[in-house]
Structure 1
Amino acid sequence: MPRTKGSKNLPKTNTNYSTQIAEKQETIASLNTEIVSIQKAIEEQKNTLKEKKTALKKAEKEVASLEEKKAKAE
């Protein structure tokens, strides 16, 4: 006769699913609020990045025009 694999003496657990569900729902709610705040921060950073890139392009154009003026003067 073949042996059965694994223990068949599993502990009897009385789980309260309603409390576990409530805990998980609280976790979900807090994660959602964190996600929203992170998304707002990302949007703010995107706007800042856009402004910085615009300022960089403007500065590069000014440098290029000054170099052209310098070349013409020489």
Structure 2
Amino acid sequence: MRESLKSQRAEVKQVEKEITKLEAKKAKADAKAAEEAKKAEAEAVLKKLLASGMSADEILEKLK
């Protein structure tokens, strides 16, 4: 019985380790997705400003 309990504890520890790895991987993927969304939004705003007649130099000046 003790061996079975020991085996189960080892298995739980292994599963917890895998969960920790997966959570870290998900956090990294979430951060990357958020960064890509920000980039897409910035590109959309830039295109809108350029389409409205603002020059690239004017846009850069506003960013300063």
**Given the two structures, how large is their TM-score scaled by the length of structure 1?**
0.68
Q: Report deviation, 1:65.
A: 1.0
RMSD between superposed Cα atoms in Å: 1.3
Which residue pairs with 2:29 in the alignment? 45
**Unaligned ranges ≥5, structure 2:** 55-64
Q: What SS does structure 2 have at the residue aligned with 1:69?
A: coil
The 2-side partners of 1:22 and 1:51 are apart by 44
The 1-side partners of 2:34 and 2:16 are apart by 27
CA offset digits 1:39-64 (Å, max 9, x no partner)? 11111111111110110000000111
Q: How many residues align?
A: 54
After the TM superposition, which parts of structure 1 deviate over 3 Å for at least 4 consecutive aligned residues? Answer: none
Which residue pairs with 2:10 in the alignment? 26
Q: 1:65 aligns with which of 39, 43, 49?
A: 49
Identity %: 7
Greater relative CO (CA pairs within 8 A, separation 6+): 2
- The structure with the largest alpha-carbon Rg is 1
Say which structure is richer in helix.
2
Q: What SS does structure 2 have at the residue aligned with 1:42?
A: helix
